[in-house]
Amino acid sequence: MYGLLRFGVTFSELRARHGMKRKWEEFTQTNNGRADAVRVSLNARGTFALNQKAVDLLGGTEAIVLLFDKANRLIGLKPSSPKVNHACGLKRVGASQSYFLRAKSFCNFYGIDIGDKVVFNDAQMEDGMIVLNLDNVTEVVRRARPVKYRVAPDEPSKPVQTKFTTLLRMKMPGGE
């Protein structure tokens, strides 16, 4: 906007000169459904993150037993008592509606290497547990990018800080 005003031209004048009319489209979608869906992710450190809906489906359990189907590449999250020796504790993230459980030894034992982070696309309840398909995930990739900022108000901007950009890549069954 400032660049055009510098030359004495406003957007309204530019549209009038070139016959450009605005074509407004009304957004009518009310909910993207994320809050209503079961959402489970797994990060590179072997930590599962579950939303409130997933924990509710598991009966609000405090611990989970992990299962793995090697032939079908499926992970099972089964509610359990915290007294079971091999159960993983389910922890709430502060006052939010997110929960996590650490499963690095599980991932190492079964050779589950997912990269940065994946979100399971089809988390389903089956036989009293949540079933996750490793072949139907969305990969969340983080890459570094330089960001310019000023050290002092009178100094020029320098690209010295790094931030991360998150990209989502869909991994479909049977594909790369």
pLDDT tens profile 90-145: 998 888 889 999 999 999 999 998 888 899 998 999 999 999 999 999 888 766 65
Q: Tell me, yes or no, whether 104 and 84 share the same domain.
A: yes
Q: Which residue range forms the structural domain that includes residue 162?
A: 141-171
Q: Give the pair of three-digit tokens for residue 65.
A: 């037993």
- Is there a single domain that holds both residue 127 and residue 145? no
- Same domain for 56 and 92? yes
100 DSSP β-pair partners:
49, 91
Q: Is the pLDDT of residue 159 over 80?
A: no
Of the pLDDT bands very low, low, confident and very high (cuts 50, 70, 90), residue 31 is low
Q: Find the mean pLDDT for residues 15-38.
A: 74
Domain count, the chain: 2
126 in Cβ contact with 138 (< 8 Å): no
Q: What is the mean pLDDT of the chain?
A: 80
pTM above 0.85, yes or no: no
* 15, amino acid identity: R
Residue 115 and residue 86 in one domain: yes
Residue 29 lies in a domain: no
Co-location of 156 and 78 in the same domain: no
For residue 60, tell me if it sits in a domain: yes
Q: Do both 60 and 124 map to the same domain? A: yes
Q: Is the pLDDT of residue 2 over 80?
A: no
